[in-house]
């Protein structure tokens, strides 16, 4: 490429990452800075993983309390467990020897959803932003949500449940309650504490027990993340468990993984017999 | 075994070693000669379409399969191949990201939803201009206007095939063309694009919003593999490698990481 065309070279604009080249070798990195912080000279060995994540998304280092809350949330979300549909998806891929990327893509596709997934967290964080910590506003919003007719079509299917609450739960989950209490006790931001204080009223308004997505959303709001950032983080932070369970099933193979059964309702053989 | 371990299914079932039921038909006995598009649409809708409709459906896919590796989805497939990833991962990633806001899934869903709803409202006696104005007051009407070039080169070809197959006289396409006139009177750049025309033709074929959403998933897929195959033929890492000169940093100046006590 000529010097003239070199000047007009297309560029990626970023406020996140500065990468300096070795003189004379524009493809070889001498040093990299994340939001101004030297990766190898400063961050490596000093910054914790959750501090790096916070820095990447928020552009600033977290306070010690924020880092503690994000770390606790990351531990909480790291493994949704094999019952979780996203982990189930990863295990399907793992048990049959799919590629590692396909395995995580399977977990992401399922874990992206509006029931127990990242899109639900997006919706819940949006709700927190709109409703704040005002009980009557939440009650009104819950009632409206549960009665809302499908509106304009979207790539996301219409859902009726209040985001952050589990419409399929047959009882409140002690695990979810304990997680909320532990995170709220860290004392970062008002939302977790307010959710804990008004949980009974909110669950009654939602007509469903609190879900882990609701805990995660409140924590992510306390950490100052936007709905889009919260959605991404929820996807990312749940991947370790999906990976671990998929690798475990890979060693066991498909014969040791449930295949279930189906009750075929329109079997042509039955129709012929009838 | 509980009932949830054995859910009812109308979609189908593999009786491995003997037969497969596909939406109530034996895949190998009844459907073995099916055109792939026929089977795909049958799977989504439960309806079998005739040769003219299937020809149009093929055209809907063919006409927007652009093997240009600069295009975002194709580029991802090309980058995957360039990084020596696998074809499945390349194509799956490219397809997944086609459910985008500026192209693909989102505009298609919004376009067919608006056209179906507008047609209903007009059939109930509302004036189309008022329907359009009311929609614009609430939100953008997808399927009109195009970011790079206002003219959509795909439309005359698609329309010609629809006419050739006798499928260009449906009410949704007529309404979509009227909407174009109304929008262009407001802003000449708001010419119809592929999302509106494909949505209108699909609606005239009886597709619901959900059915069209599923139908359009692989719409651009045929353009993806050539980009991956070409990238795989190049040296590894040779597709659009970004040097430090390609990155324009606009963030804060260098600073020291705050110490923790």
B145-174: pLDDT as tens digits: 987 788 899 999 999 999 999 999 999 999
Distances (CA, A) of B205 to A146, A155, A161, B48, B110: 34, 21, 33, 11, 17
Nearest C-alpha in B relative to A9 = B246
Phi, psi of A19 (to 5 degrees): -125, 120
**pLDDT for residue A7:** 55
A-chain CB neighbours of B253 within 8 Å are 36
Nearest C-alpha in B relative to A15 = B251
Q: How far is B207 from chain A (nearest CA, A)?
A: 14
**pLDDT for residue B261:** 36
Residue A25 lies in a domain: yes
User: Does residue A95 sit in the same domain as residue A48?
Assistant: no
User: Does residue A36 sit in the same domain as residue A171?
Assistant: no
Answer yes or no: is pLDDT of A220 > 60.
Answer: yes
Residue A7 lies in a domain: no
Q: How far is B209 from chain A (nearest CA, A)?
A: 8
User: Does residue A103 sit in the same domain as residue A205?
Assistant: yes
User: Does residue A157 sit in the same domain as residue A119?
Assistant: yes
**pLDDT for residue B260:** 43
B-chain CB neighbours of A33 within 8 Å are 254
B100-130: pLDDT as tens digits: 999 999 999 999 999 999 999 999 999 999 9
Tell me the two tokens of residue A78: 């790291």
A50-86: pLDDT as tens digits: 999 999 999 999 999 999 999 999 999 999 999 999 9
DSSP type of residue B12: E
**pLDDT for residue A74:** 98
A93-129: pLDDT as tens digits: 999 999 999 999 999 999 999 999 999 999 999 999 9
**pLDDT for residue A67:** 97
The share of chain A scoring above pLDDT 70, in percent, equals 96
Residue A5 lies in a domain: no
User: Helices (H) and strands (E) in chain A — how many of each?
Assistant: 14, 5
Number of domains chain A is built from: 2
User: Does residue A50 sit in the same domain as residue A183?
Assistant: no
**pLDDT for residue A147:** 87
**pLDDT for residue B216:** 97
Residue A107 lies in a domain: yes
Say whether B251 and A59 touch across the interface (CB within 8 A).
yes
Which among A15, A27, A101 has CB closest to B89? A101
User: Does residue A32 sit in the same domain as residue A122?
Assistant: no
DSSP type of residue B192: B
**Angle subtended at Cα B210 by Cα B22 and Cα A158, rounded to the nearest 5 degrees:** 120
Answer yes or no: is pLDDT of A6 > 60.
Answer: no
A-chain CB neighbours of B24 within 8 Å are 266-268, 271
Q: Average of pLDDT values for B61-76?
A: 97
**pLDDT for residue A4:** 47
Tell me the two tokens of residue A149: 């007719």
Neighbours of A245 (CB within 10 A): 24
Which among B5, B9, B245 has CB closest to A265? B9
**pLDDT for residue B259:** 73
User: Does residue A48 sit in the same domain as residue A82?
Assistant: no
User: Does residue A24 sit in the same domain as residue A146?
Assistant: no
Put simply, whether B163 touches A (Cβ < 8 Å) is: no
User: Does residue A96 sit in the same domain as residue A146?
Assistant: yes
Interacting residues of B103 by C-beta distance below 8 A, sequence separation 6+: B72
B239 three-class SS: coil
Residue A128 lies in a domain: yes
Q: Provide ipTM, 2 decimals.
A: 0.94
Query: DSSP letters along A13-72, please?
Result: EESSEEEEEETTEEEEEEEEEETTEEIIIIITTTS-HHHHHHHHHHSSPPPHHHHHHHHH
Residues 116..155 of B with a Cβ closer than 8 Å to A: which? 139
User: Does residue A76 sit in the same domain as residue A100?
Assistant: yes
Give the separation between CA B168 and CA B160, rounded to whole angstroms.
8
Which among B96, B248, B251 has CB closest to A11? B248
Residue A101 lies in a domain: yes
Q: Which domain holds residue A22?
A: 17-62
Read off the pLDDT band of A2 (50, 70, 90). Answer: very low
Q: Average of pLDDT values for A145-167?
A: 92
**pLDDT for residue A273:** 65
pTM (predicted TM-score): 0.95
Nearest C-alpha in B relative to A109 = B96
Residue A228 lies in a domain: yes
User: Does residue A52 sit in the same domain as residue A88?
Assistant: no
Which among A21, A258, A262 has CB closest to B9? A262
Residue A186 lies in a domain: yes
User: Does residue A181 sit in the same domain as residue A83?
Assistant: yes
Tell me the two tokens of residue B125: 């006696």
Read off the pLDDT band of A240 (50, 70, 90). Answer: very high
């Amino acid at each position: 490429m000529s010097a003239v065309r070199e000047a007009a070279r297309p560029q990626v604009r970023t406020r996140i990452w500065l990468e300096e080249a070795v003189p004379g070798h524009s493809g070889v990195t001498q040093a990299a800075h994340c939001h101004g912080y030297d990766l190898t000279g400063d961050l490596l060995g000093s910054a914790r993983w959750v501090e790096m994540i916070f820095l990447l998304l928020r552009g600033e280092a977290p306070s010690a309390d924020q880092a503690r809350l994000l770390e606790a949330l990351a531990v909480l979300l790291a493994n949704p467990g094999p019952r979780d549909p996203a982990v189930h998806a990863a295990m399907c891929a793992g048990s049959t020897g799919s590629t590692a990327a396909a395995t995580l893509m399977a977990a992401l596709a399922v874990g992206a959803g509006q029931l127990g997934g990242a899109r639900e967290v997006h919706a819940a964080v949006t709700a927190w932003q709109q409703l704040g910590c005002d009980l009557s506003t939440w009650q009104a919003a819950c009632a409206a949500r549960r009665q809302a007719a499908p509106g304009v079509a979207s790539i996301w299917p219409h859902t009726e449940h209040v985001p952050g609450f589990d419409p399929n739960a047959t009882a409140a989950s002690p695990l979810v309650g304990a997680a909320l209490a532990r995170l709220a006790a860290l004392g970062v931001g008002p939302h977790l504490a307010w959710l804990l204080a008004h949980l009974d009223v909110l669950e009654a308004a939602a007509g469903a027990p609190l879900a882990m997505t609701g805990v995660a959303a409140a924590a992510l709001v306390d950490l100052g993340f936007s709905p889009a950032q919260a959605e991404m983080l929820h996807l990312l932070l749940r991947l370790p468990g999906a990976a671990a369970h998929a690798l475990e099933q890979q060693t066991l193979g498909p014969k040791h993984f449930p295949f279930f059964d189906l009750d075929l309702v329109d079997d042509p053989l039955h129709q012929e017999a009838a | 075994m509980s009932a949830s371990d054995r859910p009812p299914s109308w979609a189908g079932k593999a009786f491995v070693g003997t037969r497969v039921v596909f939406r109530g038909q034996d895949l190998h006995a009844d459907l073995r000669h099916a055109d792939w598009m026929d089977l795909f649409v049958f799977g989504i809708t439960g309806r079998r379409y005739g040769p003219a409709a299937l020809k149009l459906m093929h055209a809907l896919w063919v006409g927007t399969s652009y093997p240009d590796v600069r295009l975002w989805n194709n580029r991802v497939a090309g980058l995957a191949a360039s990084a020596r990833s696998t074809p499945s991962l390349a194509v799956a990633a490219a397809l997944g990201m086609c459910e985008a806001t500026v192209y693909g899934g989102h505009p298609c869903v919004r376009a067919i939803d608006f056209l179906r709803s507008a047609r209903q409202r007009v059939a109930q006696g509302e004036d189309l201009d008022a329907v359009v104005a009311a929609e614009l007051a609430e939100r953008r009407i997808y399927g009109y206007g195009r970011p790079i070039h206002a003219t959509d080169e795909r439309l005359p070809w698609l329309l010609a095939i629809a006419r050739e197959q006798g499928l260009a006289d449906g009410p949704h396409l007529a309404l979509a063309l009227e909407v174009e006139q109304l929008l262009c009177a407001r802003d000449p750049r708001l010419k119809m694009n592929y999302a509106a025309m494909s949505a209108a033709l699909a609606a005239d074929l009886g597709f619901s919003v959900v059915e069209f959403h599923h139908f359009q998933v692989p719409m651009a897929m045929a353009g993806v593999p050539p980009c991956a195959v070409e990238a795989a033929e190049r040296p590894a890492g040779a597709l659009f490698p970004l040097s430090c000169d390609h990155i324009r940093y606009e963030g804060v100046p260098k600073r020291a990481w705050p110490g923790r006590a």
